[in-house]
Amino acid sequence: MLHEMLDRYMRPPAVSARLTPLDNATVQMFEARFTFGFIREDIYAYVKYPSDDRYYTLRAAQQRVPIELRIMKKSMGEFYHHLDKDQLTALRHLNPVAAELSDTYRRLDRLRKFAAHAKSGVYGIVSQMDSVSDGEDTLETLSLTSTHLVEILVDGAMHAHPNLFAGALAKTYVADMCSILPNFRTF
């Protein structure tokens, strides 16, 4: 199903229609699923083959996590807000995943301001990565947890509402969505 949805996303729009707020949220959730997949791959690539180049890729990926989680949380809220009662009922099985994702976001939120600050550079989140107290999750653990939770949540929503995702993706085109990407420095 994921490949079919990606194919719809990559093709020029089949339907000439304006995107509704639900369509926008649906497409943004779909995009988040791939963004977090790339972040996960960057983290695992460093673990499997550590190198200086991959180290900086790992750190960049981890700096993106709080920013992307904030975007995902907003898209997810918008998505749930525009669903009717029956559609929400079909997603009830994902509530524990959404709750765990919100908890992960809360734990990462204190790091968000460092990642979003224009002048933070490597002195933002990177400077706090190794300074965690006993019992506190590391940034690496929270990053991997969030990538898996986003993938589970979006895949579950796609399986629960394939027509909703297919319809939204048929109305959009990659270039159209790139023009509305938020500026991460405005968070």
Residue 81: give the domain boundaries: 2-6+24-175
The amino acid at residue 29 is M
Which stretches of the chain score pLDDT less than 50?
A: 116-132, 179-181, 183-187
Per-residue pLDDT, 144? 87
Does 73 reside within a domain?
yes
Q: At what angle do helices 2-10 and 21-48 cross, to 10 degrees?
A: 120
CB 39 within 8 A of CB 61: yes
What is the domain count for the chain? 1
pLDDT for 62-85, tens place per residue? 778 888 888 898 999 999 999 999
First-to-last alpha carbon distance for the chain, in angstroms, is 33
3-class SS at 147? Answer: helix
Does 59 reside within a domain?
yes
Nearest by Cα to 133 from 107, 100, 101: 107
Does 168 reside within a domain?
yes
Per-residue pLDDT, 46? 82
Residue 28 vs residues 77, 165, 182: alpha-carbon distances, Å: 11, 11, 11
Does 147 reside within a domain?
yes
Does 185 reside within a domain?
no
Per-residue pLDDT, 120? 45
Per-residue pLDDT, 147? 92
Place of tokens 């107290």: 133
Per-residue pLDDT, 55? 81
Per-residue pLDDT, 184? 45
CA distance 163 to 149: 22
Does 111 reside within a domain?
yes
